[in-house]
C-alpha cells in the first residue's frame, strides 16, 4: 500500500482512467511503479481537493485552478512524439518503455 491510502478508491479509479487513456492511444503507462505511484498519488490529492485531475508535475505552488493544467495536458501528445513519454513520465510510447 502507498501513502495515498486515505483516498485509495479515488487513486485506483484514477489509475484505471490512465490505463484506459493509454490503451486508447496505443500507449503504455510508466513501468517504473514508484514514479507511477508518485504522479498518480499527487494527482489523486489534487482530484480530491478540486474535483479535477490537475497535473502535479506542471502545477504552480500553491495550485491555481484557474491557470494550472489538467491531465492529460494539451502538450502530452507532442511530448510523447518528441521524447517517447509525456513530461510527467506517466504515458509512454509502447516502444519507449
pTM here?
Answer: 0.88
Set out the domains of the chain in order of their start, with CATH numbers: 7-93 (3.90.460.10)
Contacts of the segment 41-46: beta carbons below 8 A, 24+ positions apart: 41/2, 41/3, 41/4, 41/11, 43/14, 43/71, 44/4, 44/7, 44/10, 44/11, 44/14, 45/4, 45/7
Per-residue pLDDT reduced to its tens digit, 35-64? 999 999 999 999 999 999 999 999 999 999
pLDDT at position 1 over 50: no
Geometric angle at alpha carbon 83, from 68 and 4, rounded to 5°: 50
Amino acid at each position: 500500500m502507498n501513502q495515498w491510502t486515505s483516498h485509495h478508491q479515488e487513486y485506483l479509479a484514477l489509475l484505471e482512467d490512465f490505463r484506459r487513456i493509454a490503451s486508447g492511444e496505443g500507449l503504455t503507462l510508466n513501468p517504473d511503479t514508484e514514479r507511477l505511484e508518485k504522479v498518480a498519488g499527487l494527482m489523486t490529492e489534487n482530484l480530491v481537493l478540486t474535483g479535477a485531475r490537475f497535473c502535479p508535475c506542471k502545477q504552480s505552488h500553491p495550485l491555481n485552478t484557474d491557470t494550472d493544467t489538467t491531465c492529460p495536458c494539451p502538450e502530452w501528445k507532442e511530448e510523447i512524439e518528441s521524447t517517447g513519454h509525456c513530461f510527467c513520465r506517466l504515458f509512454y510510447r509502447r516502444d519507449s518503455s
